[in-house]
Structure 1
């Protein structure tokens, strides 16, 4: 009986993958509509459940996208470009990140406050453990966002192969030689391309982090737990969790920045993204409630006299209130 069910599931999955491969653009459009529908649902069903339903739809669309990308990669043999253990862990972490906001909102709406914080802490703890395993066991280098890059479905649909990504380049270690002191990776002569400079890849593999950089990346991984711990001790309205979080991020960036010349182009882009995220602290409580909010509202009141800005100002005021 179990064998018959397994064969039926395998056949259904094979038919779906065949349909997915032949209708990539249609499935991509369905994924986009699922995300768009989650925004339209918010506030338009039951006010007590609309946020939970909207977030459930958004999380489902993210999981649906991850599943489709996984099946397409498997169909075209792209999984062989990355270690199986690291790949499975990245998939698990990506699924957890896709549903963590839904878990938090659902717990806030339907569960006791203590249960809500326990669930949030468990999710962040699992993510932190997974990130440390990637960093220490699989030598993943800097953690990108997102962990798994979106599949270039257009390239697969048109050419049958995906354009080379960071993961594919970092996993093809036999094509590169790592210098022992600087950590730079250079392409070997035997695997060089003789088709001209234009066809060479833009960047090579990921940087092998030294001890100092490992400490900086560890601080970046620990930042959510540090924030939750200080918030549990001092409360959400205190400045101490906010200060502890921004100090942790600044310390992480300061340590990692000391060896910026050793990073690849994509890793430097990740460093720029992390620096930009620091500006988001202005929009986090209690800084937003006590400092940023009133200044933004005064700035918006000045912009109200400028044509075509009244609609945006009205929308921001309605959301803030």
Structure 2
């Protein structure tokens, strides 16, 4: 049985390496299906989330295959990489686990699972922060990679065993190797000398442009561009506050009740304190600056978090969506389903309180 599974996986791996763009279409189709079936029946919400979580796990697996093959990902220790994948897997399935627990064990069972997941994520993130010095951690720690780097032409020279026939990182022949690969994707007109892309190596229709294929960016190949910054004491405290916020919020809800303003104020205050204590973001690397921008934008979620949403923002948000749906042609197709889905979305803890 193990041999059969190994052969199936090797065939799947080779399929991913030879057809990265088509695999991306399958991933997008699965994600789109999760949106389409949502709200169609009594069990549609949990089925939709199961399909959405599965599509994310498929992306994670396919990215891992492509990353290992192309060898352009910064190298970290195997134990640190494993912890990062654990956190990412947890974040991908947490909504489905919450909904499944509520269906199986009721409201109390769902809160037990929510608390267990948040404690697990916090423990793993603290281990990454203090033991592995991972710096400011993104959410998820293993984000989806840029698939444009892995188009079919770049992987055209891969042998059947799924491993790339590329030089080692320290061989010094990366530029020459990429030039050879680019020659496979283009040809030069004899009279004008103009370089053209081969039709067989053109990307999908929705991604096509008039630009020639580019080399892999140095920032994608260079591990130094993604090396975590060494955080000083102030930033370590700020990151610790960010990691502890979900557990503190759950504890305050248990003490003061879900309808109280105190859990909302405690969580909001911790987010503001964490962002303020980070200081000048220019001293951080590109990924860490992007994560701080994401956290800043996530502050808008406090408009949808109870009790602020129930008492203040709900009526205003619904009114704004109705005005846009009634006055902008075509917007009703998107906004009316959104208005119907908002009450369900707002009740799922991990949709609005995941980080």
* Length-normalised TM-score, structure 1: 0.79
**Match of residue 52 from structure 1:** 46
In structure 1, what is the Cα distance between the partners aligned to 2:259 and 2:121? 25
What TM-score, normalized by structure 2, do the two folds share?
0.72
* Residue of structure 1 aligned with 2:57, choices 34, 54, 63: 63
1:181 aligned partner: none
Aligned length: 282
Which residue in 2 is equivalent to 1:155? 149
Question: Is residue 135–residue 228 contact of structure 2 (8 Å, CA) maintained in 1?
Answer: yes
Match of 2:80 in 1: 86
CA deviation string 1:189-224 (max 9, x = no partner): xxxxxxxxxxxxxxxx33200111100000001111
Q: Deviations over 1:126-177 (max 9, x none)?
A: 11111111111111111113311322333223999965567952488xxxxx
Partner of 2:313: 292
* Distance change >3 Å, CA 212–CA 101, structure 1 → 2: same
1:13 aligns with 2:9: yes
Structure 2 counterpart of 1:236, from 258, 262, 265:
258
CA contact (8 A) 2:91 2:140 kept: no
Alignment-derived partner of residue 277 in structure 1: 298
CA, structure 1 residues 241+114, in 2 after alignment: closer, same or farther (shift >3 Å)? same
2: CA distance between counterparts of 1:171 and 1:81? 12
Question: 1:162–1:82: structure 2 CA closer, same or farther, 3 Å change rule?
Answer: farther
Partner of 1:169: 223
Aligned to 2:278, the other structure's residue is in SS state helix
Measure, in 1, the Cα distance between the counterparts of 2:221 and 2:233: 23
Is the partner of 1:207 in helix, strand or coil?
Answer: coil
Give runs of aligned pairs for residues 204-223 of structure 1, distance below 5 A.
205-223=227-245
In the other structure, the counterpart of 2:277 is: 255
Q: Distance in 1 between matches of 2:83 and 2:225?
A: 15
Structure 1 residue 283, shift from structure 2 partner: 1.3
1:60-96 CA-partner distances (Å, limit 9, x unpaired): 1111111111122223344672221211111111111
Q: Once the 2 structures are TM-superposed, how far is the Cα of residue 244 of structure 1 from its aligned partner?
A: 0.8
The offset of 1:304, in angstroms, is 6.5
Query: Are the aligned partners of 2:133 and 2:228 in contact in 1 as well (CA < 8 Å)?
Result: no
**Conserved 8 A contact 2:94-2:117:** yes
Are the equivalent residues in 2 in contact too, given 1:59–1:99 (CA < 8 A)? Answer: yes
CA distance in 2, matches of 1:141, 1:92: 17
CA distance in 1, matches of 2:263, 2:335: 31
Find the counterpart in structure 2 of residue 175 from structure 1: none
Stretches of structure 1 that go unaligned for 5 or more consecutive residues are 173-204
Which of these residues, 19, 28, 46, is aligned with residue 24 of structure 2? 28
Query: CA RMSD of the aligned region, Å?
Result: 2.7
Deviations 1:22-43 (A, max 9, x none): 1111111111100000111112
Highest relative contact order (Cα 8 Å, sep 6+), 1 or 2? 2
Report if the CA contact (8 A) 2:325-2:335 is conserved: yes
Cα separation, partners in 2 of 1:238 and 1:167, compared to 1, 3 Å: farther
1:76 to 70, 74, 78: 70
Are 1:76 and 1:160, in contact at CA under 8 Å, matched by a contact in 2?
Answer: no
Q: 1:228 to 1:165 in 2, by over 3 A?
A: farther
CA distance in structure 2 between the aligned counterparts of 1:170 and 1:107, rounded to whole angstroms: 42
Structure 2: 5+ residue stretches without partners: 152-211, 344-355
Alpha-carbon offset, residue 314 of structure 1: 4.4
Q: CA deviation at 1:303?
A: 4.9
